[in-house]
A = this chain, B = another copy of it.
């Protein structure tokens, strides 16, 4: 994902947050959505995304809803109850990380 990797490890969080907001999405849609939301600055590669989706499903955080649109299969993913709880936790972790980075990047400034 993302050209210039300062940021490994945030892909699962991004995916789950999107599913949390949109109900259900399919893989290709996620790649388009992230690119659109960030004005092309973040690019998720499919080679990173699909394995993550499979992993999250294996962990019981996502479920799949298979559909056929225009004679092509689509796999809609959505959060399980366990996945919703995990999303809350991951978002909390991400906000903590960002706050910590703000403190490190802006020392001496009241970060609050």
Contacts and interface: CB of A to CB of B under 8 A. Distances in A.
B38 A4 contact: no
A82 interface: no
- Chain A: interface size category: 20 to 34
A100 B4 contact: no
> Secondary structure of the A side of the interface?
helix
A94 B6 contact: yes
A61 to B, nearest CB: 15
Interface stretch (A47-55, A66-74, A103-111): A103-111
Contacts of A9: 5-9
A30 to B, nearest CB: 11
A2 B96 CA distance: 11
